[in-house]
Amino acid sequence: MKVAEIRRKYLNFFASHDHVVVESSPLIPQNDPSLLFANAGMNQFKDTFLGNEARAYTRATSCQKCVRAGGKHNDLENVGFTARHHTFFEMLGNFSFGDYFKEDAISMAWEFVTKHLNLPIDKIYVTVFETDDEAADIWINKVGFPKERIYRFGEKDNFWSMGDVGPCGPCSEMFIDRGEQYACGEECGLGVCECDRYMEFWNLVFMQYNRDKDGNLTPLPKPSVDTGMGLERIASIIQKTDTNYEIDAFIDILNRTAKMAGQSYDPKAKDAFNYRVVGDHGRATTFLIADGVMPSNEGRGYVLRRIIRRAVRYGKNIGFQEPFLHKICEFVIEQMKDAYPDLTDKKSFIMKAVQAEEEQFFKTLERGLNLLDEEIGSLKGKTLSGEVAFKLYDTFGFPVDLTRIICQERGLGVDETGFEQAMAKQKEQSRQNWKGAGGAAVDGIYHELAEVLRGKNQAPVFQGYDQLSADGT
Ligand code: ATP
Ligand code: MG
Ligand code: MG
Ligand code: MG
């Protein structure tokens, strides 16, 4: 069953249970400055759940575009390294606004999963909130789910809240055991580790309480339901792929990426993560620009810029030496245009915007390298001055990590104290101009620049899992 069919089946199933099919909202949340990007199906219904906005219906279903690359939910660093995380993904959901509650939510989910998707029942595990006897009872006695595969967890895993105050409640999640071959070790287990053997695929949230500013929970007069199931995850379960990245909506993008680089994509190869990152970030870039985000130095645009630069960094590992990501975006558009027809109209704009950003980034990298070469050429002693290292960093966007590495390679040191002093001075001067997370965010970019350049200056293209995952980007 292909992604398009799963999406259609889900919406049809809930429509046949009296849900109104609602379009995905754009990735940029409307009227919600607290949220970076849409990151769950419930976002667009937030005011309805809160009772501030009346709708003509009490049941809805949707397939929501989501991005989790910043803010509370940030999966950026997981991408490429787990089987199940993306920055951009689609979340299927069904919602009850004071209509049905736990029993119907669980029964419908179970019916869909077992009768319509035919998932292997004996591989499914269920979690409930530690004190939620009601949900456990429904699973056992109404649905007939085996008691021994129901796990109870605490707040961290099975209690959901919209914020510090407001609606909240326990949740019940479905997991699938993908098999021993995916175990992370002997200690592997549901609730024990975060590996991909037991993969979460559907979260059923029961909004049941209102939490006040003192932390008191009072029952909501009309309890509600919010569910979310990752489309790529359920597709990977049904299509029995090693990771989400081999499902039909992804594999074509990765194969074409590999072909463009004169390679082939092998999901089991140890450098497969490079393709996954590039493919994932190509999707996120495409959809973010389509929804009106442009690369910039702050806020949403900064997250997009980071995603693009990260894609370039991993693309270089594949062997791309010049702008390539805009072409990946073209593959993405071809793959997704049936489900998201607006992409066709926006194609040339998206490709141009990405290409311009890539070109600029590739040039920055070149400039930095040339400049450092000159400085080293005219150096008298054995230490590059902190001032010069700082100038490279500050004026030319050249990361100090890299300056350090190149100097080391040539038997030189960097005056670290001088660098720190120059940095502190500059920070003090510009403190007034930095707002919010700006400072930290910019550090992040330089860190990534360092990684890209490091890749360029080292002979082997593949840098190994350790180095790539340990850098914190
Ligand atoms: P995980 O624990 O695997 O990170 P989660 O608990 O953060 O997932 P939820 O916030 O419960 O996820 O979101 C509901 C569903 O959306 C998940 O059960 C999963 O199917 C899907 N999902 C969540 N995050 C991602 C992601 N980064 N990429 C793809 N699908 C996701
Ligand atoms: Mg998560
Ligand atoms: Mg989870
Ligand atoms: Mg969850």
Query: How far is CA 218 from each of CA 101, 102, 160, 168, rounded to the nearest angstrom?
Result: 17, 18, 15, 10
Ligand that lies nearest to the alpha carbon of residue 75, given by its number in the listed order: 1
Sign of the torsion angle spanned by Cα atoms 182, 184, 187, 189: negative
pLDDT exceeds cutoff 60 at 198? yes
Indicate whether 130 pLDDT > 90.
Answer: yes
Q: Is the pLDDT assigned to residue 453 strictly greater than 90?
A: no
Q: Which pLDDT band holds residue 85 (cuts at 50, 70, 90)?
A: very high
pLDDT for the residue 233: 98
Q: Which residue has the higher pLDDT, 135 or 406?
A: 135
Residue among 84, 174, 227 to mutate when testing ligand 1 (max atoms within 8 A of CB): 84
Secondary structure string (H, E, C) spanning 115-133: HHCCCCHHHEEEEEECCCH
Which of 177, 175, 193, 108 lies closest to 143, judged by CA?
108
Q: Per residue in 146-196, pLDDT tens? A: 999 999 999 999 999 877 888 899 999 999 999 999 999 888 999 999 899
Percentage of residues in the chain having pLDDT higher than 70 = 89
Q: Residue 94: its pLDDT value, please?
A: 98
Domains of the chain: 3-238 (3.30.930.10), 247-470 (no CATH)
pLDDT on residue 254: 98
Furthest-apart CA atoms within the chain: distance in Å: 81
ipTM score:
0.99
For residues 235 and 213, what is the distance between their CA atoms, to the nearest angstrom? 41
Atom of ligand 1 nearest to the CA of 82: 3
pLDDT > 90: percent of the chain = 69
Return the residue whose CA atom lies nearest to atom 12 of ligand 1: 203
125 closest CA partner among 173, 88, 160: 173
* Cα 69 to middle of ligand 2, angstroms: 11
- Check whether 402 has a pLDDT greater than 90: no
pLDDT mean over 259-278: 96
Alpha-carbon distance 83 to 123, whole Å?
18
How much is the pLDDT for 460?
A: 26
pLDDT band (50, 70, 90) for residue 35: confident
Q: Which atom of ligand 1 is nearest to the CA of 171?
A: 11
Choosing from 233, 237, 283 the residue with most ligand 1 atoms within 8 A of its CB, the one to mutate for a pocket test is: 233
| Measured distance CA(314)–CA(326) in Å, rounded | 14
Give the pair of three-digit tokens for residue 101: 């509650």
Distance 98 CA to ligand 2 centre (A): 27
Stretch 102-110: mean pLDDT: 98
Please determine, for residue 135, whether its predicted confidence score (pLDDT) is greater than 60: yes
Above 70 in pLDDT, residue 463? no
Query: Would the CB of 68 count as within 6 Å of ligand 1?
Result: yes
Taking the centre of ligand 3 as the mean of its atom positions, its distance from the CA of residue 200, in whole angstroms, is: 6
Residues 245-267 pLDDT 10s: 999 999 999 999 999 999 999 99
In this predicted structure, what is the pLDDT of residue 368?
75
The CA 39 to ligand 2 mean position distance, Å, reads 10
Q: In the predicted model, what is the mean pLDDT of residues 199-225?
A: 93
Give the residue with greater pLDDT, 455 vs 143: 143
Mean pLDDT of all residues in 29-35 = 83
Q: CA 214 from chain center: how many Å?
A: 33
Closest-lying ligand 1 atom to the alpha carbon of residue 234: 20
Neighbours of ion ligand 3 (CB under 5 A): 200
Selection from 70-74, 352-356, 406-410, 424-428 with the highest mean pLDDT: 352-356
pLDDT band at 432 (very low <50, low <70, confident <90, very high): low
* Ligand 1 binding pocket includes 159 (Cβ within 6 Å): no
Is residue 201 lining ligand 1, measured as CB closer than 6 Å? yes
Least confident of 56-60, 69-73, 431-435, 465-469: 465-469
Has residue 467 got a pLDDT over 80?
no
157 Cα nearest atom in ligand 1: 6
Give the length of the chain. 473
Average pLDDT of the chain is 88
- Mean pLDDT score, 439-446: 41
Stretch 10-23: mean pLDDT: 98
What pLDDT sits at residue 430?
A: 64
Q: Is the CB of 167 under 6 A from ligand 1?
A: no
pLDDT for 173 = 98
Mean pLDDT to the nearest integer, 271-275:
95
Cβ pair 403, 392 in contact under 8 A: yes
Ligand 3 centre from 156 Cα, in Å?
A: 9
- How confident is the model over 112-125, as a mean pLDDT? 97
Q: Ligand 1: does its nearest atom lie under 6 Å from the Cβ of 271?
A: no
What are the start-end ranges of the H helices in 131-212?
A: 133-137, 155-158
Query: What is this structure's pTM?
Result: 0.83
The residue type found at 269 is A
Residue 464 confidence (pLDDT): 25
